[in-house]
């Protein structure tokens, strides 16, 4: 068959890409067409996303796709991070630049929310773990600080929903991204309207929810003309980047929770795939979360402050006059003493500190541990602490599902970090299978191909991922695993 092309727009916290998924009927080959930087913009004491620049860069990438592939392009779809949103007026005007989830305005909003509605009731209505950056608490902060903006809003669109609106004009929300907001009821599979009313939040601003793989329209005529793509279809893939990444986990065990996935990047998202959301009191106690996936599955998982710790250490090292690349940092970390200093990656001090190394050092002082002083010691501390957090999370997942996790699939950019992969295998005492690196965009374009009728189901989609990817296995080292066992006491404090 002639090669068909599906365009995946994948935007993360540090960069965005427009990537072509080239389908020959058996395998999906990826070709990066355009890459552009992303990051928070500080203005007037706030942190925002430059959403208009992102949209401009996406159009540049689509133009390159039109010149490269012409009429072979079938469709386009967008995935991004969760929780953040843009508000539109009735006429389609943007009501301000969207906030970055690390903006400080949500500090203290959890406690304020619990005074209005008990924690257990919020969890029963949403099934989501409690993080101040969730959409619900961003809306409550907006309600307190800028009620006139909220009053003028006609539609709330999460970041990928907004970019798909830019592409097609459709005001809808895709299932997987809707589940990240803590405004969605996972049992009814609709917006948690009763919860929203209890917080006096407007319910009319939440749009129709559609399933992953839904055709939401054709490219706007103005976009089709500007890019040269013509009136191709716009598909809502699993718009949450982790939802797309998990769709592309190359497991052969679809339908059981005996395998774990670790979507590794700025954030680490570690979990299992289940048919129904888990809303038990124990799930709440462990602060686990239920996020949606392809075929209305749920991802029972924990959000862990991932390689953000290393990224921010690198930034601080460079500010002090020493440029490092990640390969160098991994090398010096591998040479540093093992299991000397450990932190809890999810401690709030690590969310957006001005100086990550200092924050980690302060934590170690407060917990009477040796203070990591060198670049290698700091990065090793970050990586070992992540592996320790992964072990605690695996134990929680096994407790909740009653299934033993036999293998951990690591996907995303962090799957390239061989040192962290080996730490994870050793700490968790089970094999780690790393890859694909580009799981998110693979999931995005394969869901589009499935929407076009090229792929039968999720099982076949994952078979295609295995055939299209190079995977690497990390086996636990018995001596290292024994050393990790000695950290059990610390693990209870960090879990």
| Residue 237 shares a structural domain with residue 282 | no
The DSSP annotation for 214-243 comes to: EEEEEPPHHHHHHHS--S-EEEE---BHHH
| Residue 159 shares a structural domain with residue 300 | no
- The CATH number of residue 309's host domain is 3.30.420.40
Q: Give 362: exposed, middle or buried? Use CB within 10 Å, 0-12, 13-18, 19+.
A: middle
Which token pair is 348? 């709030």
| Residue 201 shares a structural domain with residue 343 | no
CB atoms within 10 A of CB 296: 14
CB atoms within 10 A of CB 92: 11
| Residue 261 shares a structural domain with residue 160 | no
Q: In total, how many domains does the chain have?
A: 2
The conformation of residue 91, written as its DSSP 8-state character, comes to: T
| Residue 150 shares a structural domain with residue 261 | no
Using left for φ > 0, alpha for ψ between -120 and 50, and beta otherwise, residue 95 falls in beta
The conformation of residue 276, written as its DSSP 8-state character, comes to: S
| Residue 183 shares a structural domain with residue 324 | no
pTM for the structure as a whole:
0.91
**Distance (Å, whole) CA 154 – CA 95:** 10
290 lies in some domain: yes
CB atoms within 10 A of CB 274: 20
27 lies in some domain: yes
- Contact between 263 and 412 under an 8 Å Cβ cutoff? The reply is yes
Closest Cα partner for 357 from 339, 368, 343?
343
CB atoms within 10 A of CB 317: 18
Q: Which residues contact 312 (CB under 8 A, 6 or more apart)?
A: 353, 356
| Residue 20 shares a structural domain with residue 57 | yes
| Residue 67 shares a structural domain with residue 185 | yes
Which token pair is 103? 């903006």
Q: Which pLDDT does position 490 carry in this prediction?
A: 67
Regions of the chain with pLDDT less than 50: 494-495
Which token pair is 427? 């700490």
CB atoms within 10 A of CB 320: 9
65 lies in some domain: yes
- Contact between 396 and 302 under an 8 Å Cβ cutoff? The reply is yes
Q: Which pLDDT does position 495 carry in this prediction?
A: 44
Among 183, 208, 241, the domain boundary falls at 241
Reply yes or no on whether 79 is catalytic. no
Q: Give the active site residue among 50, 84, 103, 241.
A: 241
Which token pair is 325? 């690349």
Provide the domain limits for residue 333. 249-435+456-495
Q: Which residues contact 332 (CB under 8 A, 6 or more apart)?
A: 374, 375, 376, 379
**Distance (Å, whole) CA 332 – CA 265:** 20
Among 173, 208, 241, the domain boundary falls at 241
How many angstroms separate the Cα of 135 from the Cα of each of 10, 156, 177, 206?
20, 10, 11, 12
| Residue 393 shares a structural domain with residue 465 | yes
- Contact between 105 and 267 under an 8 Å Cβ cutoff? The reply is no
- Contact between 117 and 66 under an 8 Å Cβ cutoff? The reply is no
99 lies in some domain: yes
Among 209, 241, 273, the domain boundary falls at 241
The conformation of residue 130, written as its DSSP 8-state character, comes to: -
| Residue 263 shares a structural domain with residue 209 | no
422 lies in some domain: yes
Beta strand pairing status for 46-48 and 41-43? antiparallel
| Residue 74 shares a structural domain with residue 102 | yes
How many angstroms separate the Cα of 404 from the Cα of each of 20, 247, 459, 492?
37, 21, 21, 20
Q: Which pLDDT does position 273 carry in this prediction?
A: 96
38 lies in some domain: yes
228 lies in some domain: no
What does the CA dihedral 188, 287, 435, 484 come to, rounded to 10 degrees? Answer: -160
| Residue 399 shares a structural domain with residue 260 | yes
188 lies in some domain: yes
- Contact between 420 and 414 under an 8 Å Cβ cutoff? The reply is yes
């Amino acid at each position: 068959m002639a090669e068909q092309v599906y365009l995946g727009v994948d935007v993360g916290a540090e960069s965005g890409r427009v990537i072509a998924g080239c389908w020959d009927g058996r395998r999906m080959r990826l070709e990066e067409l355009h890459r552009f930087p992303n990051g928070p913009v500080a203005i007037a004491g706030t942190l925002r996303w430059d959403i208009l620049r992102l949209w401009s860069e996406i159009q540049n990438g689509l133009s390159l796709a039109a010149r490269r592939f012409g009429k072979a392009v079938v469709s386009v779809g967008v995935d991004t991070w969760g929780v953040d949103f843009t508000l539109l007026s009735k006429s389609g005007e943007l009501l301000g630049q969207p906030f970055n989830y690390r903006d400080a305005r949500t500090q203290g909003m959890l406690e304020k929310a619990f005074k209005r509605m008990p924690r257990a009731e919020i969890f029963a209505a949403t099934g989501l773990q409690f993080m101040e950056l969730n959409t619900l608490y961003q809306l409550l902060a907006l309600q307190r600080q800028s009620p006139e903006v909220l009053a003028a809003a006609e539609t709330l669109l999460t970041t990928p929903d907004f970019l798909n609106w830019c592409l097609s004009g459709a005001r809808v929300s895709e299932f997987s991204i809707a589940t990240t907001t803590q405004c969605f009821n996972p049992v009814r599979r609709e917006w948690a309207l009763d919860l929203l009313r209890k917080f006096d939040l407007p319910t009319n601003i939440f749009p129709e929810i559609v399933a992953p793989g839904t055709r939401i329209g054709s490219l706007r005529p103005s976009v089709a003309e500007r890019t040269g793509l013509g009136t191709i279809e716009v598909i809502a893939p699993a718009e949450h980047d982790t939802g797309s990444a998990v769709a592309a986990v190359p497991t052969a065990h679809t339908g059981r929770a005996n395998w774990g996935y670790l979507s590794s990047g700025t954030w680490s998202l570690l979990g299992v795939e289940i048919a129904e959301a888990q809303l038990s009191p124990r799930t709440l106690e462990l602060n686990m979360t239920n996020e949606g996936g392809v075929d209305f599955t749920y991802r029972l998982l924990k959000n862990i402050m991932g390689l953000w710790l290393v990224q921010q250490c690198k930034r601080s090292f460079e500010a002090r006059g020493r440029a490092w690349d990640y390969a160098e940092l991994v090398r010096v970390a591998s040479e540093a003493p093992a299991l000397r200093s450990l932190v809890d990656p999810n401690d709030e001090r690590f969310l957006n500190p001005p100086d990550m190394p200092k924050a980690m050092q302060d934590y170690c002082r407060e917990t009477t541990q040796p203070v990591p002083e060198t670049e290698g010691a700091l990065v090793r501390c970050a990586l070992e602490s992540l592996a320790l957090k992964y072990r605690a999370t695996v134990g929680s997942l096994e407790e909740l599902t009653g299934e033993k996790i036999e293998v951990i699939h690591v996907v995303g950019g962090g799957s390239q970090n061989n040192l962290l992969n080996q730490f994870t295998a050793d700490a968790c005492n089970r094999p780690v299978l790393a890859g694909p690196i580009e799981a998110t965009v693979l999931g995005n374009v394969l869901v589009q191909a499935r929407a076009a009728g090229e792929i039968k189901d999720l099982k076949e989609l994952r078979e295609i991922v295995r055939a299209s990817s190079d995977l690497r296995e990390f086996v636990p080292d018995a001596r290292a695993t024994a050393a990790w066992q000695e950290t059990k006491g610390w693990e209870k404090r960090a879990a």
